[in-house]
Structure 1
Amino acid sequence: MQITRTGEPSLSIIVYGRDVQGLLGVCLDSVAAQLPPEAELITAAVGNDARDVAARSGGTVLPLPAETGDADARAAGAERARGTWLWFMPAKDRLPAGAVRALLDRLAEVPEQVDVLVADHVRTTWRATGASGADAGRLARVARRDVTLDQAPDLLRVTPLLAKRALRTSFWRAHEAELADPDEMFAARAALALADRIACLDQVVVEVRELRRESLPAVTAEQRYGLVETYDRLQRLLHRRESAPRPRAVLYDLMATETMRVVARESMPDAVAREFFHRASAAAVRWKPAGHRRPGGMEGIRRRLLEEDAYTKYRAFQAANQRRRGLRTTLRTRKKQLGAKVLDHHYQKALREPVDQDLAVFSAYWDRGVACNPAAIAAKLGELAPHIRPVWVVSKAAEPLVPPGTDHIVPGTRRYWEVLARARYLTNNVNFPNAVVKRPGAIHLQTHHGTPLKKMGLDQRAYPTASRGLDFDALLARVDKWDYSVSANSHSTRMWEHAYPSHYTSLDHGYPRNDVYYRATAADIRAVRDRLGIAPGRRAVLYAPTHRDYEASWTPRLDLAALSERLGDDTVLLVRGHYFYGGGASPLAGLRRTGRVIDVSAYDPVEELALASDALVTDYSSIMFDYANLDRPIISFADDWETYARTRGTYFDLLAEPPGHVARTEEDLTEILATDAWRDEASAKVRTAFRRKFCEFDDGRAAERVVRRVFLGEPEESLPPVLPPESRTPAPTPEEATG
């Protein structure tokens, strides 16, 4: 058993990288939950988001600039490490329970001559967590022995990820030039080539998160060619180390198989594919082992064509194989076509017409009218880019509510398909239908309609009540059409990346619909209150609860009659929710007549209700994040928080990070509103922290930034900078507006 000097850890776990898709917190939690005294945690945090997450997780945090690459982040972590062994963990991955103890126990058994320990992994996609693959058998064959690469050359076939390898620290420092290589595949296999002896552990120690390809940057031609160069460098390393023929033969087989797979399966321009094939052919000839025999069958033919650099013949061979499989493919295609919606023939015809560069389509809340972020963007578009023509998608039922003079189309009509087909800009706060085609040159702008407290998108998969009826494949197909995603804060940016993993660009510009909270004047606020019938001097409390997926129908959570009676005539409750009023027999009918309760369920826009109110009472609705821009009191009525969090899933604990006072019972809420507690210093203090975090990019100029960036094509650096919260002036309160 190896001996560790007193006071020094046996193992340094180095978590490194950016907070990709909000996964770093999960990674660090999985480490911290099983970190024993003989191990240390070092987080090489790239960028401010990763730094902030790491700071809450303990261990040593190394803040690194946002442009730091993974290799440099690993090296920075290793430099600070005190352990006998190093274990590099990407910020997106996580450790299964018991992984650290299993690794430490195995490391305690290996002799001093062992430089590398190789373990197993599972790979997780957005769909599910998979089982360990072929690596398990290769590791099991080595068992508890320690071997050289010449003795076990098939270890080169083990998935080349550094998270599957523990490296002795002295070994790392002796070979840092190769092991700190930016190409992880090279570094992982170079570790095996450089090691004096290798040990194995046929147990899963890491869950590797495989990100959706659509959420990653496009692979460049040089990156394609780099794969061949990586194999070149590995072969040169094996020759320099005077490795036996068997490891070189295994590496050659890996190179030939992987490069041919890239040509066959990856989408590349023909010129790039031809050049890649040419380079792979040169490497195949250069490194072909003496006496090497090609495999039989189809694979042997592919290898021969590769060695001959016969790209044209290879493509012909590939086409012939595809024709042989044609019948089966045709049957599958027909089956899909039978279940697919056939596009309107007008749409198909319009799709052949040129894209109209000055045509923009807007929709909100499944075509319910002119509202939310799309409405604010459209209004600003009229100021800054009047040459672009906005057209709204509005359902037949909502058509009577469209503002006069608004050009609009009704879903399913001939003009609807024609406009959708030809518009360059398509803006929505939800998603357009599956049938909408993303044309080359068209720009899809996703604005969202709230900051997420509850789990969204793919994150709903673990919550059957919330995800009932959702088709996640169809959802991702819609998400893949996005070019831009608007965000109000860093929290949202990270959660959208995780819930909707795709290739879009995040616009950290703020929510355009919240601009009004910094633009509205005292006269605007008086006008809204007049329309609502709120007399000057009366306190208006906006009550806006959210929907609960686990309730088939609305269950009243407050006795509004009793609450309004307790608060008296000086307070009016603005109740935002159609489910309170089922008919003339409502117990609130008398209260409505007295003016103590006003039903504002059908009132739009909701931003005006916020401006007219002195305080907000809500439970888990995203309105709390928008309302916080006004810097007015917010009370969270969280009587069923545990049930909501368990059945719907949430991204953070609202009780630990509330926007103001939290009432767990109706009595608590009544007491807060009936006294001065609703606007005391304690509520103001937590509201300040809440605003700083969740109103991060909202400063009154969000719509302008979005229009300039998306519709006018201005570069990010030329946009109006976001003002810090302390430099912003929200709209006046109702009390100030009447003063």
Structure 2
Amino acid sequence: TAAAALRRVRARLGYRWHLHRPLDEGLVVYCAYWGRGYACNPAALHARARELAPHLRGVFLVEAGQEHTLPEGVDHAVIGSPRYWKVLARAKYLVNNANFADAVVKRPGSVHLQTQHGTPLKTMGCDQSVYPVVAAQSGSFTRLLRRVDRWDHNLSANRHSTEVWERAFPGAYETLEYGYPRNDLLLTAGAREVAAVRRALGVPEGATAVLYAPTHRDHRTGFEPGLDLEEFCAAAGDDVVVLLRAHYFYDRGGRAGSGRVIDVTGHRSTEEVCLAADALVTDYSSIMFDYAVLDRPVVVYADDWEVYRETRGVCFDLLETPPGPVARTPGELAGLFRDGAFAGPRSAALRAAFRERFCAFDDGRAAERVVRRVFLGEPEEALPPVVPLAARTPAPAAVPFPRSAAPFVRS
């Protein structure tokens, strides 16, 4: 409407005015997934900053209608509102796992932290330019590079990510190889927290909870599970239940769980869902890298790998270096669970090699390192060193399986 348009113009004019005011040295603005709510690395940093840097005031940006997703006591601004533009103009620190609007100006003295929201298997950023289906949806790569130019720091969970980000998002930022703050919970939670999440999600006592988390496909227009989950449960074993978590692009859907399938897409925390699951089945979703932090069984269901590889593009051959067994058909997938191979010695060995490569910095103290380095200005040498992989104790699974052993070597 005309009135709404006038409000937007006034808000933007207000932004220009606030840009001439001094930076607020104690203000941090956070945003996750374009305002979908309190989630991911920005939420984990917000929570840790309240403990380690209580002098800082955090404001979380959310879409209109998503205010209810914020925990009690979290200050917020609705995207597009006058306060939204005010805090963006005045904040000393701006933290995002995606990107702020193109209109946001990088002010001298402000600090922009890009946290990312997953380890890349699929192509990202400028690497997408040679894949027509993805490039057509990505918009201008010139605008992308202008957004990257605002970054002062870019967070990485492993060396693989560092190398991909530097190619896909070329810029003058500093790379912080500190791990992902959102994954701290996967190492700090105990059996009590795991049991509480399982109860909250409705996982039956004694059940083996399999998290099924398929990724988004750019060549499709809506969510398709890609697998008959009730049929999978029936074939996999009497104790198996599935926790279905669709990609965040589809987190507003109206799917309802039935029988042995529990839809957990709407649960605020992906990390809590991971805690509740005894094993993961995914295709090409970056959740596999996060779930590997738990050192629990992972199965790759790659029924359309060739199509995905050609339409989206990938950074490495997942089928050559998977985090666990690979199934290409529903029957193969069910068979891995029915005979226990999903959690067998070969599965553990594959996972060990995968963890060595991709879980290097996720040791439970990532958020602390980021807060102390970025917000408190502490030097690199003063930060907590990364705990070696072998010395970490992930959150316990409700249904325990053998931990990973020596890395698997192909014959």
The one-letter amino acid paired with 1:351 is L
Please point out which of 147, 151, 157 is paired with 1:478. Answer: 147
Please point out which of 58, 61, 77 is paired with 1:393. Answer: 61
- Change in Cα spacing, 1:435 to 1:534, as seen in structure 2 (3 Å) is same
Counterpart CA distance in 1 for 2:225 and 2:183 is 29
Are 1:620 and 2:284 matched, yes or no? yes
User: Which residue matches 2:363?
Assistant: 699
Counterpart CA distance in 2 for 1:581 and 1:720 is 39
The one-letter amino acid paired with 2:380 is E
Please point out which of 546, 549, 558 is paired with 2:218. Answer: 549
Counterpart CA distance in 1 for 2:204 and 2:222 is 34
Number of residue pairs matched?
Answer: 390
| CA RMSD after TM alignment | 1.8
Are 1:689 and 2:353 matched, yes or no? yes
Are 1:359 and 2:23 matched, yes or no? no
Counterpart CA distance in 1 for 2:400 and 2:391 is 19
User: Which residue matches 1:424?
Assistant: 92
User: Which residue matches 1:250?
Assistant: none
User: Which residue matches 2:407?
Assistant: none
Counterpart CA distance in 1 for 2:374 and 2:388 is 23
Matched ranges for 1:20-39 at <5 A: none
| Greater relative contact order structure (CA < 8 Å, 6+ sep) | 2
Counterpart CA distance in 2 for 1:521 and 1:360 is 30
* 1:564, distance to aligned residue in structure 2 (A): 1.6
Q: Secondary structure at the match of 1:735?
A: coil
Counterpart CA distance in 2 for 1:633 and 1:489 is 20
Counterpart CA distance in 2 for 1:550 and 1:414 is 37
Counterpart CA distance in 1 for 2:144 and 2:10 is 19
Kept in 1: contact 2:42–2:97 (CA 8 A): yes
Counterpart CA distance in 2 for 1:566 and 1:413 is 51
Counterpart CA distance in 1 for 2:252 and 2:148 is 36
* 1:601, distance to aligned residue in structure 2 (A): 1.1
The one-letter amino acid paired with 1:702 is A
Kept in 1: contact 2:252–2:266 (CA 8 A): no
Q: Secondary structure at the match of 2:95?
A: strand
User: Which residue matches 1:446?
Assistant: 114
Q: Secondary structure at the match of 1:574?
A: strand
The one-letter amino acid paired with 2:369 is R
Kept in 1: contact 2:237–2:337 (CA 8 A): no
* 1:724, distance to aligned residue in structure 2 (A): 1.4
Kept in 2: contact 1:522–1:736 (CA 8 A): no
Kept in 1: contact 2:11–2:82 (CA 8 A): no
Please point out which of 372, 380, 385 is paired with 2:48. Answer: 380
- Change in Cα spacing, 1:483 to 1:639, as seen in structure 2 (3 Å) is same
Q: Secondary structure at the match of 1:366?
A: helix
Please point out which of 285, 295, 303 is paired with 1:631. Answer: 295
Counterpart CA distance in 1 for 2:212 and 2:315 is 23
User: Which residue matches 1:497?
Assistant: 166
User: Which residue matches 2:208?
Assistant: 539
User: Which residue matches 1:722?
Assistant: 386
Q: Secondary structure at the match of 1:732?
A: coil
Counterpart CA distance in 1 for 2:94 and 2:297 is 36
Q: Secondary structure at the match of 1:660?
A: coil
Counterpart CA distance in 2 for 1:417 and 1:533 is 40
User: Which residue matches 2:80?
Assistant: 412
Q: Percent identity?
A: 56
For residues 418-440 of structure 1, the C-alpha deviation after alignment (integer angstroms, 9 at most, x for no partner) is 11111000000000001111111
The one-letter amino acid paired with 2:70 is V
Are 1:673 and 2:337 matched, yes or no? yes
The one-letter amino acid paired with 1:528 is V
Are 1:463 and 2:131 matched, yes or no? yes
Kept in 2: contact 1:459–1:498 (CA 8 A): yes
Q: Secondary structure at the match of 2:37?
A: coil
- Change in Cα spacing, 1:580 to 1:720, as seen in structure 2 (3 Å) is closer
Q: Secondary structure at the match of 2:300?
A: strand
Kept in 2: contact 1:566–1:670 (CA 8 A): yes
Unaligned regions of 5+ residues in structure 1, if any?
1-340
Larger Rg: 1
Counterpart CA distance in 2 for 1:415 and 1:581 is 26
User: Which residue matches 2:104?
Assistant: 436
Kept in 2: contact 1:488–1:510 (CA 8 A): yes
Counterpart CA distance in 1 for 2:51 and 2:69 is 23
Kept in 2: contact 1:343–1:435 (CA 8 A): no
Please point out which of 272, 275, 280 is paired with 1:608. Answer: 272
Matched ranges for 1:8-19 at <5 A: none
* 1:413, distance to aligned residue in structure 2 (A): 1.4
Q: Secondary structure at the match of 1:382?
A: helix
- Change in Cα spacing, 1:709 to 1:572, as seen in structure 2 (3 Å) is same
Q: Secondary structure at the match of 2:58?
A: strand
| Richer in helix (by share) | 1
Counterpart CA distance in 1 for 2:314 and 2:348 is 24
For residues 564-610 of structure 1, the C-alpha deviation after alignment (integer angstroms, 9 at most, x for no partner) is 22234411100112869987xx8xx7xx453x110111112011111
Q: Secondary structure at the match of 2:381?
A: helix
Counterpart CA distance in 1 for 2:251 and 2:373 is 42
Unaligned regions of 5+ residues in structure 2, if any?
1-8, 402-411
- Change in Cα spacing, 1:558 to 1:706, as seen in structure 2 (3 Å) is same
Counterpart CA distance in 1 for 2:185 and 2:94 is 23
Kept in 1: contact 2:155–2:175 (CA 8 A): yes
Kept in 1: contact 2:237–2:338 (CA 8 A): no
The one-letter amino acid paired with 1:683 is S
TM-score, length of structure 2 as denominator length: 0.92
* 1:401, distance to aligned residue in structure 2 (A): 1.9
Please point out which of 498, 516, 527 is paired with 2:185. Answer: 516
* 1:556, distance to aligned residue in structure 2 (A): 4.1
Counterpart CA distance in 2 for 1:404 and 1:513 is 19
Counterpart CA distance in 2 for 1:472 and 1:713 is 32
- Change in Cα spacing, 1:556 to 1:408, as seen in structure 2 (3 Å) is closer
